[in-house]
Amino acid sequence: MPAILSVRDVRKAYENGFEALKRVNLEIEQGEILAFLGPNGAGKTTLISTICGITLPTEGQITVGGFDTQVDFRSARNLIGLVPQEINLEPFETVLNTVRFSRGLFGKPRNDVLIEEILKKLSLWDKRKARISELSGGMKRRVLIAKALSHEPKVLFLDEPTAGVDVELRKDMWEVVAELKAAGVTIILTTHYIEEAEAIADRIGVIRRGEILLVEDKQTLMAQMGQKILQVQLTAPLSEVPASLAAYDLSVGDDGQSLVYSYDTQAERTGITALLNAIAQAGLVLADVQTRQSSLEEIFVGLVHEEEKAA
């Protein structure tokens, strides 16, 4: 399937010499959800702004649905919906008119049925006649999402959509994202919440200092880069790792009654069999054994630190 979004060798440099994007390449297939992770100032918002036409790339080419975003900007932008990071809304206008405006701006004829459906889905219907200035922060963010959905985009950008919102809205938003994905909409989101990426994304991209460090299938990423942790629960407490087990990279668990061992799932030998034998020989009695995969957060922190060291 051809990519719905293609970013080729895109560079963005400002007049002051700051290079916000350094030859970024990216291909996104229709219907997938890609989450971008990265520290503040990594270039996530610049990348989105450059794709959407808010800023112009210094070099490179971007196509959306096969349309060049500069040569055939009208066809490209018709396909794009954007929920910006900042809550930018005209405070004196009503919710309904604000959302209708977005649909018209994107060249679509008025469709009250669709707007009603969107507002109801986002729990905004009761507030449709309220002025934006009367709404809470969470409600305003819902309005931004409604505006982006009002013109039925095929590619939706969500720039930190759940920053500073309550759990309820976050859950609602995840549901909306799932529905959109089911309808074939491609979603690109940036987030600080790694659990958000872990929960809804198909692929994860990590961006840092204007460079995409990796874009990988979420499961593959977690399997490839994930460390597994083996926690051996003992029947009696212990204060330190016995000397006979010094050869293994062990630590005493927080509860003071377990040994913690981390191992690479991709390694030829995990060393688990030998470790368990050694524990038995040391005279320790096992009460329970647990394993868990490291979270995306641990992978992300590890990856960014690794890059920092390399730099």
Partner 1 sequence: MNWHGVLAIYRFEMARFWRTLLQSFLSPVLSTSLYFVVFGSAIGSRIQEVEGIEYGAFIVPGLIMLSVMTQGISNASFGIYFPKFLGTIYELLSAPVDHREIVLGYVGAAATKSMFIGVVILATAALFVDLPVAHPSAMILFMVLTSLSFALMGFIIGIWARSFEQLQLVPLLVVTPLVFLGGAFYSISMLPPIWQSVTLFNPVVYLISGFRWSFFGAADVPVLFSLIAIGGFTVLCLAVIAWIFKSGWRIRS
- Binding flag, residue 108, partner 1 (CB under 8 A): yes
| Residues within window 29-88 making contact with partner 1, judged by CB under 8 A | 49, 52-56, 73-75, 77-78, 80, 82, 84, 86, 88
**Residue whose CB is less far from partner 1, 39 or 91:** 91
Stretch that binds partner 1, among 93-101, 226-234, 251-259, 260-268 (CB under 8 A): 93-101
**Residue whose CB is less far from partner 1, 105 or 214:** 105
**Residue whose CB is less far from partner 1, 82 or 119:** 82
Query: What distance lies between CA 211 and its chain's CA centroid?
Result: 16
Give me the least distance between CB of 137 and partner 1, in Å please. 15
**Residue whose CB is less far from partner 1, 102 or 258:** 102
H or E stretch covering 278: helix 272-281
Q: Are strands 186-191 and 155-159 parallel, antiparallel or unpaired?
A: parallel
- Binding flag, residue 101, partner 1 (CB under 8 A): yes
What is the per-residue binding string for partner 1 in 120-159, x denoting contact by CB under 8 A?
A: ---------------------------x------------
Give me the least distance between CB of 169 and partner 1, in Å please. 21
Q: Compute, in degrees rounded to 10, the torsion defined by CA atoms 260, 261, 266, 269.
A: -150
CA angle 149, 151, 154 (to 5 degrees): 75
Q: Are strands 33-37 and 211-217 parallel, antiparallel or unpaired?
A: unpaired
Structure tokens given for 257: 């009654």
Give me the least distance between CB of 165 and partner 1, in Å please. 18
Alpha carbon distance 263, 234 (integer Å): 20
Which of 218, 220, 158 is CA-nearest to residue 192?
Answer: 158
H or E stretch covering 102: helix 95-105
Which residues sit at the interface with partner 1, rule CB under 8 A?
14, 49, 52-56, 73-75, 77-78, 80, 82, 84, 86, 88-93, 97, 100-109, 147
